[in-house]
Amino acid sequence: MGSLNIYFSVNEPKCGPFIQPETLMDKSRFLRKKADEIRDRVIEVSIRNKAGHIAPSLSTVDMLVALYYDVMRYRPKDPLWDGRDRLVFSKGHGCYALYAILADKGILPAKEWAGFYTPSSSLSGCLEKKPEYGLEAGCGSLGHGLPMAVGMAFGARFLGKKFHTFCVAGDGEMQEGSMWEALQYAVRHGVDNLTLIVDANRLQAMDFLTDVLDRNTSDLLKRLRGFGLKPVVCPGHYAPGLARVLARARNSRGKVPHVVVARTVKGRGLKCMENVPKFHFRIPEEKELLMGKTYGRN
Ligand SMILES: Cc1ncc(C[n+]2csc(CCOP(=O)(O)OP(=O)(O)O)c2C)c(N)n1
Ligand SMILES: [Mg+2]
């Protein structure tokens, strides 16, 4: 994995080390394996620490792996580097994969992640702002992360800074009025150094969106288009594909924010949990875990 680490150090200057073609071909495999590894860690640590938002965390694994191991520019050894791309994780209750990745990168101390949700760690179940740990904004009360991300992106442009801001939001969260006010502002002011990624797992807390407020599964796309956006829809559990889509968004301007709607499965990875509403906040029992995994076949 040594040579891959060189390639995936996205903060290397463009003229960085010469990359062997076979190493490039391994990129897709690397991202898929990394996603498996992060899923393992999320499941293991959250069950051990009795932290219940496992399912909403599992739906975000692949998009976060694509961002942190391929797309985003940042310096693991200098988390406060001014030029770093920002990630605002708006659906703050599902932050366990983000913790696992930041710990894997050495940004978050391993002890903090290992003990999260217990008195031995400063990391809580929902996100608190700790930029020194790579956590850019406090989120958990839904509907607040995107407005903050719009502010960061707008501010960057205003100050002539080159970083890109990403925001991960839930599809249920997209029912919050503040999300639309933020998008309206971003469209009106041409904030195109921003990418909103919607974790479209079709569930909000304990029920399906269409059984709560949405009329049908295309409601979100219609609303986004109505606000002047051009959402790109893509599979949410294939990290190499997500990396391509997100890199394109990061590196192109378009006069309006980029929106990627990632079609995901809540609880992705554990058979007992996938698409099962009661697992929004619930630790699986031993016998449920015995049903097995749906990943790891890469
Ligand atoms: C303002 C606000 N209202 C309600 C809640 C309670 N709540 C926590 S998670 C959640 C469901 C969110 O659904 P979604 O955004 O789709 O995230 P998912 O769990 O599917 O990843 C709700 C309603 C909250 N945290 N904040
Ligand atoms: Mg959802």
Residues of the chain with confidence (pLDDT) below 70: 1-25, 297-298
153 is a domain residue: yes
Instruction: Please tell me the predicted confidence (pLDDT) of residue 25.
Output: 59
Q: Ligand nearest 168 Cα, by number?
A: 1
Read off φ and ψ for residue 203, nearest 5 degrees.
Answer: -115, 145
Probe residue for ligand 1, chosen from 62, 96, 204, 219 as the CB with the greatest number of ligand atoms within 8 Å:
204
Residue 56 Cα to ligand 1 midpoint, Å, equals 9
Instruction: Please tell me the predicted confidence (pLDDT) of residue 235.
Output: 98
d(CA 78, CA 174): 33
Query: In the block, which residue shows the tokens 């940004």?
Result: 107
pTM, to two decimals: 0.93
116-153: buried (b, 16+ CB within 10 Å) or exposed (e) per residue?
Answer: bbeeebebebbbbebeebbbbbbbbebbbbbbbbbbbb
Give one DSSP letter per residue of 34-97, joined into a string.
Answer: HHHHHHHHHHHHHHHHT--TTHHHHTTHHHHHHIIIII----TT-TT-TTPPEEEESSGGG-HH
166 is a domain residue: yes
278: exposed, middle or buried (C-beta count within 10 Å: 0-12, 13-18, 19+)? Answer: exposed
4 is a domain residue: no
Instruction: Please tell me the predicted confidence (pLDDT) of residue 24.
Output: 58
Report the number of distinct structural domains present in the chain: 1
130 is a domain residue: yes
256 is a domain residue: yes
Instruction: Please tell me the predicted confidence (pLDDT) of residue 217.
Output: 86
272 is a domain residue: yes
DSSP alpha helix (H) spans, the chain: 2-8, 21-25, 27-49, 55-58, 61-66, 96-104, 110-114, 145-159, 177-188, 219-226, 239-250, 286-289
Domain range for 55 is 26-289
Residue 173 Cα to ligand 1 midpoint, Å, equals 6
Residue 56 in contact with ligand 1 by CB distance below 6 A: yes
**50-89: per-residue pLDDT in tens?**
999 999 999 999 999 999 999 999 999 999 999 999 999 9
Give one DSSP letter per residue of 13-43, joined into a string.
Answer: -TT-S---HHHHHTHHHHHHHHHHHHHHHHH
252 is a domain residue: yes
Contact between 83 and 161 under an 8 Å Cβ cutoff? The reply is yes
**206-242: per-residue pLDDT in tens?**
899 999 999 988 899 999 999 999 999 999 999 999 9
Q: H/E element holding 117?
A: none
Query: Looking at residue 47, which CATH number applies to its domain?
Result: 3.40.50.970
3 is a domain residue: no
Read off φ and ψ for residue 135, nearest 5 degrees.
Answer: -100, 105
